[in-house]
Structure 1
Amino acid sequence: VEHKRRAHFHEFMADVHERIHGYRQNIARGEIADADVIALTANAIFDEAWLLCFDEFHVTDIADAMILGRLFAKLFDLGSVVVATSNVAPDELYKGGLNRALFLPFIAQIEQHMDVLRLDARTDFRLEKLVGVKMWLVPADRAADAALDKAWAKMTGNAPCKPRDISIKGRVLHVPCASHGVARFSFRELCEMPLAAPDYLRLARDYHTIMIDHIPVMDYAERNAAKRFIALIDTLYDNAVKLMASAEADPVSLYLATEGYEASEFKRTSSRLIEMGSESYLARPHGHRDSAASGSSTGLVET
C-alpha cells in the first residue's frame, strides 16, 4: 500500500500541532490567505497518506481533545482509512477530562466510521521484541550504552530519536528522545530535575517502554533524587510500563543509606525493579494495573 503512515498517536498529534502552528504563522505573515488551519492540516496529511495506523490511541491532553473532532471529521470526509490500537474503548476516551462534552462528537465519529473490535489477548506482544534482552544493565558503561542503542533500534524499527515537549498544567515536560511509544532519558533528566508525580504519570500513559541511562548509586545526600526515583518506579510499575536501564549497581544495592523514610521505601523499589525484569511482568499489557500492586509514593516531599 502506498501513501500510508504508521505512528504512535501522541507523535502524530505533536506533528498536527506543529503544522497548525506553521499555518497560523503563514497566515499572520500574509503568505497564505486566512483559512481553517485544521482543514489545511487535514488536507496535507491526506495528501501524504490516506491510510493512517496508530499505536496507543488514547487522549490525555485537552489541546488534543479540542481539535480531534474537527480534524478527523475532515480526514474521514476526504476518504482516510484509520486503523488504531487502544487500551480503552472509544466511549472511555478522555474520560474525566476537562470540557469532555466538547470531545463527545469525536467518539460518535469513531463509532460511525470505524469498526470496533475487542481483542482479549492477555499478553502484550511487544514482549516478542524483548525476548532475550537483558533489562537491567550493570555497570553503566559503553557496553550498556550500546545494548540500549540496540534495544532502541529493535523496539522502534530503527526510528530516529525525536524530542517532544508535553504541556502539563501550564508547564512543559521535555522528552529528549522518543519514537513509536518508546522514550529514553538519562537519570538526571528524570530524577534530578524538578519533576513530580503528574509528570511520571503522563510518561507512563504515553509510553509503553522507558529507557534510562546511567542510574547512579544513591546515598542520603541524594535522597531527593531517590524520592523521585521511587515515585517514578511506582508509577511505571502500576501502569505496566517496560523499563530498560543501565545502572552502577543491582537494584538491591542502589540506595546505601540505612536510615530515613527513603531507606524503607527503597526496599519496595528494589523489589519492583527486580520484578520488572521478569517474563510475567513483561507480559502484562501496557496500562494494565496489577491488582496485587501495593505501595505508594504519594506525599513525598523534598527535605
Structure 2
Amino acid sequence: MTYSLCDRRPEPTLERLLADLVPPPRFAEARLENYVPDPAHPSQEEAKQRVTAFAAEIGRPRGGGFLSRLRGKRTEAARGIYLDGGFGVGKTHLLTSLFHAVTGEKVYGTFVEYTDLVGALGFQKAVDLLGTSQLVCIDEFELDDPGDTLLMTRLIRELSDRGVAIVATSNTLPDALGEGRFAAQDFLREIQAMAERFEVLRIDGEDYRRRDGVTEIRTLPAPVVEEHAAGQPGATLDAFDALLAHLTKVHPSRYGALIDDVAAAHVTGMHGLTHHHDALRFVVLVDRLYDREVPMLVSLAADGDAAQEGVLEDLFSAELLRSGYRKKYFRALSRLASLANDGRALAG
C-alpha cells in the first residue's frame, strides 16, 4: 500500500518535542575529527580550530563563584559563537560536532523547533528547561517575522545571562537578520543586543555537495515514480500541488514528524513556485527530508512532459531568488538536487 503525506496530521507530544532536540540522522556521526576543511578556504580550518577550543571551554567556571555570590555579583553572561556562511560549507557539521564534543547537558534544534517548544511550554518554562543546559545549539537561525525576532532575542539573552553557551548557524550575519523581510530597523536594538552575545565566525567555500557533481534536480518519468512508490515499503506518493496545500495545514515545526518512518518520498507534477508562502514551507520540508536522509523521486508537471526524464528548472522564480530569503532557496535547491540524485539511484 502506498501512503500519502497528505493523509498525515502529526500532533507531536511535549515528550516528542523534547526527544527531538538532538542532531538529525544525517549528522549523527559528525565529529570535529571528520570535518575536512577545504585548503582553498582557510576560514574553514580556522572555524574548526575555534569550535574545538570553544568545546574545551564549555563547563569551565565563568565567574559567579562563592566570593562573587558573597559580593552580590551575577554569574558572568556566556558568550556564544555564530557560524555564518553560504550553504554547503560545513556549518551544520561543525555545530553537530560541537554538540557531540560536549559531555555535559546540551540540546540541539532548528530555529523553528525552539519557537515551537516555547509555544508548547510557555516562555518562562522553556527558559527554565533550556537554562539547565551547558550548551544550546540552534541550526538554521532565521528571523522571518517580528514576533520571532522578539521571542528569540529575549530567549538568547536570558539563557546567556544564566551562563548557557549558545552556538548558532545561519546564512545571515546577526546584525542583518530580517533584512529584506520585515522592518528590521524597528527591532534594531533587540537584534544588536543579541548580536553582542556572539563571536561571529565567517566560513567561506563552495557547496560541498557539488564535489559529487550533483548540481541539477534530475526528474524521472511520472509512471516510473508512481510504479516505484507502489513497490517500495514505507514510500509516500503525493501530487505536488496537493502537497503544497497540505503543508499549509501543518505547522513547519511538525514537518519532521510528518515524515516519520518514510523510506522514500515520491512527488509528481513538480513545477515552478512564485509565492513565498508556498516556497518557504516547501524549503522546510526539503530541509527535514535532507536531515533524515530520505531520498526523493520526482517528476515534472504535465506541461514539462512528465513521460520523460528531465531537469527541474526554475523551481523558485527569479523574483524569489532576489528576495531576502534567497539563501534559503539556494540551499533548498542544492539539497533537493542531492535528494533527487539519491532517489534516481534508488530507482536504478
**What TM-score, normalized to structure 2?**
0.43
Question: TM-score normalised to the size of structure 1?
Answer: 0.48
Structure with bigger RCO (C-alpha 8 Å, 6+ apart): 2
